[in-house]
Amino acid sequence: MAAGQLNEVAFFDIYPNDDSAAFNAAWSNYPYFASGVVVVSGIEQGLFVLRPNLVDSSLHVGDLDGRGALRADRWVVRLFITVYDSSENPVANAEVSGDWSARVRGPNVCTTDAIGQCAISGGMRNSTLSVSFSIPGITDGTLTI
C-alpha cells in the first residue's frame, strides 16, 4: 500500500438488475475478518456474507536443480523443480512444462507433489556438450502463468 496501488481481484454485484449510474448499490462493506469472509450491505438488498475463493496468481519456480551422468554413449539428465506461491509456500499439483535447448529424449512436463517438487528426466547423445531447460509456463489447475 505504500505505493498507493490497488489491484482488483474480485467483484460482487449486489444489484445486477441495472448498471446505471443511479445509486442503488453497496452501502458498506467489511473485508477484515480473519476467516476471509467479506460482508456487504445494500440499502434495499440487505446483508450479503461472502467467502471469496481467491487464487494466488504469482506462482514461480523457486528452485531448479539438475544432475547428469554418462551412461554408455548417452548423457542422462534429471531436473528437480520446486514451485512456490508469492508467500514462498510450496504448491502441490502444479503442472510444469518446459523446453529443452537440445535434442533430449524424455518428457518435458511434470506435476508437483505435496511438497511442491517434481522431476523431469531425459537422455541425449554424449556429443552434446551442454543443455538447458526453460520453463515458459506453470499451471495450477485454476490458472496458467
Contact 31, 6 (CB under 8 A): no
Predicted local distance difference test score (pLDDT) of residue 9:
67
Q: How many Å apart are CA 31 and CA 8, to the nearest integer?
A: 14
Query: pLDDT digits over 101-115, tens only?
Result: 877 888 889 999 999
Q: With a cut of 60, say whether residue 128 has pLDDT above it.
A: yes
Beta carbons within 8 Å of 12's beta carbon, 6+ residues apart:
40, 48, 50
Average pLDDT over residues 77-93: 88
The beta strands (E) that lie in the chain are given as 26-30, 38-42, 46-50, 60-71, 74-84, 95-100, 109-111, 117-125, 133-139
Indicate whether 25 and 75 sit together in one domain.
no
- Are 6 and 34 part of one and the same domain? yes
Query: What does pTM read for this prediction?
Result: 0.57
Looking at the structure of the chain, the number of domains it has is 2
pLDDT digits (tens, 9 = 90+) for 2-47: 666 666 667 788 878 877 777 677 888 898 998 889 999 988 888 9
97 vs 125, more confident? 97
| The predicted structure's pLDDT at residue 35 | 87
Tell me what pLDDT residue 137 has. Answer: 77
Whether 144 shows a pLDDT value over 60: the answer reads no
Cα end-to-end distance, the chain, whole Å: 24
In a domain, 110, yes or no: yes
What CATH number is given to the structural domain containing 134? 2.60.40
134 domain residue, yes or no: yes
* Same domain, yes or no: 70 and 44: no
Residues 33 and 87 in one domain: no
Residue 69, pLDDT above cutoff 70 = yes
For residue 90, what are the domain limits?
60-139
Q: Is residue 144 part of a domain?
A: no
The pLDDT of residue 115: 94
Q: Name the burial class of residue 41, with classes exposed (0-12), middle (13-18) and buried (19+) by CB atoms within 10 angstroms of its CB.
A: middle
